[in-house]
Amino acid sequence: MSSRLAQRHVLVTGAGGGIGLAIAEACLQQGARCTLVDRSPAPSDGVALLQRSHPGRVGYLPGDVTDANAVAQLLESAQAAAGPIHTLVNNAAVFDMAPLLESDEASFDLLFAVNVKALFFVMQRVLQHMVVHGEAGCSVINMASQAGRRGEALVSHYCATKAAVISYTQSAALAMAPQGIRVNAIAPGVVDTPMWAHVDALFARYEGLPPGEKKRRVGLEVPLGRMGTPDEIAGAAVFLASDEARYITAQTLNVDGGNVMS
């Protein structure tokens, strides 16, 4: 175990699997205490494994990040168990897609409720907490996407939500700079997680592709020739949370194999 995040409390939302779980594991390996939040009433197998591997340093809190009252209680519970929060990894998100002329209000409402509204108010409450406690080295890492850098015909609402994440990251960073609190984002490209089974199925439906074909194609189209892995996103998160990034704020770091150049 290294010590880049020693004595720091990291709160990760959407931590039951995929990128969130990988970030939690990487932070633990760097000495952090972690509070992991997800919708499931009980910890996932991955979270349970981390609890066994890092006894006393992994807390799990079930909760709905779209419920403001629940979020307030989550933060109180996290602080009571592990002390002031030094880093928020705002990772909880949902995905959906449909042709523009067929997209419905229910999909719009769900995507914006989780990916934008919940992200903002979780960030706001954690930032309030950070200001009150005045701990050194505090930061927020919001999870954006390469989809926030450009529009896509079938993915209009999702792209718009992730563009909003990038914008809120910039605004929050400027607002919190006088407090010495950094706010950044990560924009992953196509990452091989369990969620891609859902994404691939939607593309198969709307583009008439056989199952697995979209996933194969998007990997080949990446300049580095493959999809990313959750641990590659986790490495960026550890860097942004650490003192190595102490002069970095208001940035969205592309971790996408070269898909977006900015």
Summarize pLDDT for 21-77 with one digit per residue, the tens: 999 999 999 999 999 999 999 999 999 999 999 999 999 999 999 999 999 999 999
Predicted confidence at residue 2, as pLDDT, reads 77
Q: Where are the domains of the chain?
A: 9-96+105-191+229-255, 196-227
Predicted confidence at residue 61, as pLDDT, reads 98
CATH number of 9-96+105-191+229-255: 3.40.50.720
User: Which residues have a catalytic role annotated?
Assistant: 158
Predicted confidence at residue 223, as pLDDT, reads 98
User: Is-contact 113 92, C-beta < 8 A?
Assistant: no
What is the model's pTM? Answer: 0.96
Summarize pLDDT for 175-203 with one digit per residue, the tens: 999 999 999 999 999 999 999 999 999 99
